[in-house]
Amino acid sequence: MEDLENLMSRLIKEGADRIILNSGDIEELMRKGVKFDKTPEKSPEEYIDLLFAKRKENAISLLRNLPTLSSIAAPTIRALYTEIRECIIFGLNGAAITLSGILVEYVLKYTTIVWEEGSHKYNPDKMDEFEKMTFNFAIDRAESAGLLTSEEKDKLTDFKNTIRNPYNHYNIKKITQDVIWPKVKKLNFKTLKIEEKDIAAKDDLVIQAQAKPFVDAYKVLEVFKFADNIINMLFNKMDDMQQKGK
């Protein structure tokens, strides 16, 4: 066990930024006498102070890059915008991406309702009808209403398949499918041999869990800006159509 502990210490000194163990390995090592350092518990006040200090470093620069909703939007849309922006500021990128998918679907249905009704006046019965509608059918209906070109429809369908659906259903394998962690040192606790290999997230649940926060952070601004572009496109197109006469 002393050799194993020295070996793990050496790996850390050589630059390993994290050591990942499954629960079975941890239990086995503890039975053999390996001691794991426990992170000192923080008080609620200490935890919050640390969390906010880390977030504050990025908050100001993030705010400069976040879309700002124009005055055209309904209160429900504005509320979603605010929630997404706050999620991004606090580093809840997975939640922000999921909400961005919800935002796109909601606005697509909302603008189609307004166009079909010929008015921004709220119609709860019509909204109930749209609530039961799938995203795919909503895309088709918006196209039929003249709110989407075939190219715009294709972009929304791709967004539905690659972003909205995987995040709504937490398909973590699909979300992290392109991640490959290169030159991972894999230690066999029984033989103490180290094997270096590339690990694809799609083949390993542990790597998927480690990779998703990085994927979320990489994608979040692009996804939110896509949602913002779609929303502005729909409202502007609807305004143009109304000016020309339905």
Indicate whether 1 and 110 sit together in one domain.
no
pTM of the model: 0.78
Nearest Cα neighbor of 111 from 94, 99, 127 is 127
Cα separation of 228 and 64, whole Å? Answer: 15
Indicate whether 101 and 62 sit together in one domain.
yes
pLDDT of 229 strictly over 60:
yes
Indicate whether 157 and 65 sit together in one domain.
yes
Indicate whether 12 and 105 sit together in one domain.
no
Indicate whether 23 and 69 sit together in one domain.
no
Indicate whether 122 and 170 sit together in one domain.
yes
In a domain, 187, yes or no: no
Contacts 24+ apart (CB under 8 A), 187-196: 187/7, 187/8, 187/11, 189/4, 189/25, 189/28, 189/29, 192/3, 192/4, 192/7, 194/7, 194/11
In a domain, 204, yes or no: no
Cα separation of 89 and 55, whole Å? Answer: 7
One-letter amino acid at 85 equals R
In a domain, 132, yes or no: yes
Q: Dig out the tokens for 171 from the structure.
A: 């398909």
pLDDT in tens, 149-173: 999 999 999 999 999 999 999 999 9
Indicate whether 146 and 234 sit together in one domain.
yes
Indicate whether 14 and 81 sit together in one domain.
no
| Radius of gyration, alpha carbons of the chain | 24
In a domain, 42, yes or no: no
Q: Which residue bears the tokens 């066990």?
A: 1
Say how many domains are in the chain. 2
- Per the DSSP assignment, residues forming a β-bridge with 185 are 196
Binned at pLDDT 50, 70 and 90, residue 181 comes out as confident
- Diameter of the chain measured on Cα atoms: 81
Indicate whether 120 and 157 sit together in one domain.
yes
In a domain, 192, yes or no: no
Contact of 19 with 11, CB cutoff 8 Å: yes
pLDDT of 177 strictly over 80:
yes
Give residue 164's domain range. Answer: 57-175+210-244
In a domain, 202, yes or no: no
In a domain, 197, yes or no: no
Q: What sign results for the dihedral spanned by CA atoms 158, 122, 234, 245?
A: positive
pLDDT in tens, 71-126: 556 888 889 999 999 999 888 999 999 999 999 999 999 999 888 887 777 778 88
Cα separation of 235 and 140, whole Å? Answer: 17
How many helices (DSSP H) and strands (DSSP E) are in the chain? 11, 2
Indicate whether 102 and 214 sit together in one domain.
yes
Indicate whether 134 and 224 sit together in one domain.
yes
In a domain, 12, yes or no: yes
Indicate whether 225 and 142 sit together in one domain.
yes
DSSP class of residue 33 equals: T
**Geometric angle at alpha carbon 87, from 172 and 227, rounded to 5°:** 75
